[in-house]
Structure 1
């Protein structure tokens, strides 16, 4: 298999790079967050990495002609946890509006006849509906005008890891690259293309709909690890005292207390996770501890406040203990190996994981969509030569 090349924008700690694997060669990567940049360099070295703001980059900073441009642009304005401001415009950007700076680079490369063969834009599920769906339509219009064919899929990390983390992957292919029929579905397929995506596609202008494709992505074949398998040994972690654990339990609603009682009644060691959430009950805002007892962690978030940190709850017969999810456990929930070097500070390490990509999902998409497109393109070029 020939080595493929890529640019990695908004790279974080390099999780797209890790997912793509050793058959891919990085030509350029960037992130302006100093902590993430330090982690990237610590794990991948300095070569090809720039910690500049993407708005300060130009096509001349990007070497070669990449097979893939990967961009996980900021999601704060597109997620339900954000403020739903959307992309903004090219001159009045929100944080997610950094897309415009990325797209300016793509347009510059195209003018130099260096446009990437494929582009992947990764974001939260809410990217489909943000700003009444207008943001998604604008992104698709950009791809369409640049001559790309494109389509989106929703892939959930829960297929590969014990973490619920649905994400949108918009995969675009340059117009001169042939797409094999075996990679395409005849229409929307189940969880890959949920109702929100079908609606988002229907909102597109007819000229953009004509460039839309429905990607076919198989389900995960390997059995995922369990949450219990990813936890660190009891003796190396810091447990809450009884008063703190009791406080968390007392914050549970009746429904969540029932879940806890079922864990106790099982008589076996069982593991769950807890998030603190603010809910409106009887017209009042109440902070609740919400328990997940299905062996799957909730979606990791960045630790902007206490409520965004996830807790572990372990029930061993009648003994109930709680603690914070460790940074290494958060990394494992993203598919990072234990050899991956995390920032030394808890919040920074947790933020790196919570704001990153699930590595096995990237690997799956590369194996079943991006890689085959590029391999077949190379085969066609070789035959033509």
Structure 2
């Protein structure tokens, strides 16, 4: 490794200190790498690769899926500083921050836009919590609900050939369907042909995880001729024991006090006819949905240990595997933050499967669709 000595003024140094999640030299090194990568990405090649942007990127689950399908990421946005740290460590890119302050004109040109815009305003848990606190949800939630319109703003300005949006299943029924109606009408008015499906990640990882996916293709380019189909998995789900570690630290085993509390809590709700309670996993089956609140007590997914030991929660690495991340993916934050990050993430192999279908559709159209549309004239 070569050492390069740089002199920077005090104001710039203070700015870097305020924004960096690591050391100043590390920040500068990654910034330079990021700039070089961006310059390379702007150069067109004849290899058939496509450029995409990663909005509300989290820790990069959607990026991994689209890179596996042959894409190159040219822009990223994520405001959470801990997610930025994980993203930077794994991709060498420092995401831009608050999307509401990003000028769409400054975003590099791209063929595909990705956005897993915040789901809390529309999720069942998010709505229930906000109702109990007397807070608004959906599009009335000015802090998160209206961020969809920033996605629409960028789509309108940059006109990607296609996009993939991801959210919770409840988005479709939130506010008696009015929320989704607004989203659909907004995207269609922008000139995009939509394909919508609720898919379960259980066919790719041992976890029941339903999410809504909205794929759009630009009618100005494809004319509505694209023949897109969501992936149809045929492989049976893998058992959760396939992702478990052979050796786990004792700190992940529930304390006697917590285990007693969870059992009493479940018994209380069972007596009242409710289904609330902990989720003790069948090791030959699949788990419940991993959520961002897993760090609190791990009750939604507990691993039986036998031999008189209390159940344990998943380790952060097991959570990563449960979402389909490779073991090479670096976990550089605390357990608390890691649980939040993987709980908020996507099922990577499912995203990869959707990405490949989108790429196949785009390539098939450019190969055959133009001929079909010309013959119909």
TM-score normalized by the length of structure 1:
0.74
Measured after TM superposition, the shift of residue 63 of structure 1 is: 0.8
Asked if 1:19 is matched to 2:65, the reply is yes
Q: Which residue of 2 aligns with 1:5?
A: 51
Asked if 1:133 is matched to 2:174, the reply is no
The one-character-per-residue Cα deviations of 1:315-352 (angstroms, maximum 9, x if unpaired) are 54x64531121111101000001110113300111111
Matches within 5 A, 1:1-385: 2-22=48-68, 23-46=70-93, 49-64=94-109, 66-83=110-127, 85-88=136-139, 93-109=142-158, 115-175=159-219, 176-178=221-223, 183=228, 216-234=229-247, 236-238=249-251, 240=253, 243-244=256-257, 247=260, 250-251=263-264, 253=266, 279=269, 282=272, 288-293=277-282, 295-303=285-293, 306-307=296-297, 310-316=300-306, 319-368=308-357, 370-380=358-368
- Secondary structure in 1 aligned to 2:170? helix
Q: Which runs of 4+ in 1 moved over 6 A?
A: 381-384
**Structure having the larger proportion of residues in helix:** 2
- Secondary structure in 1 aligned to 2:126? coil
- Secondary structure in 2 aligned to 1:321? coil
Mapped partners of 2:347, 2:104: distance in 1:
28
In structure 2, the CA distance between the partners of 1:325 and 1:308, relative to structure 1 (3 Å rule), is closer
The one-character-per-residue Cα deviations of 1:239-261 (angstroms, maximum 9, x if unpaired) are 5377347516733757xxxxxxx
Structure 2 unaligned residues grouped into runs of 5+: 1-46, 129-135
Residues 280, 301 of structure 2: 8 Å contact kept: no
Measured after TM superposition, the shift of residue 101 of structure 1 is: 1.7
In structure 2, the CA distance between the partners of 1:287 and 1:120, relative to structure 1 (3 Å rule), is closer
In structure 2, the CA distance between the partners of 1:342 and 1:310, relative to structure 1 (3 Å rule), is farther
The one-character-per-residue Cα deviations of 1:120-158 (angstroms, maximum 9, x if unpaired) are 110000000112211100111111111111021111110
Structure 1 unaligned residues grouped into runs of 5+: 110-114, 184-215, 255-277
| RMSD (Å) for aligned C-alpha atoms | 2.9
**Structure having the larger proportion of residues in strand:** 1
Mapped partners of 1:329, 1:304: distance in 2:
12
Corresponding pairs, count: 316
Measured after TM superposition, the shift of residue 97 of structure 1 is: 1.8
TM-score normalized by the length of structure 2:
0.75
Measured after TM superposition, the shift of residue 53 of structure 1 is: 0.4
Mapped partners of 2:265, 2:281: distance in 1:
11
Measured after TM superposition, the shift of residue 3 of structure 1 is: 0.4
Measured after TM superposition, the shift of residue 295 of structure 1 is: 1.8
Q: Which residue of 1 aligns with 2:42?
A: none
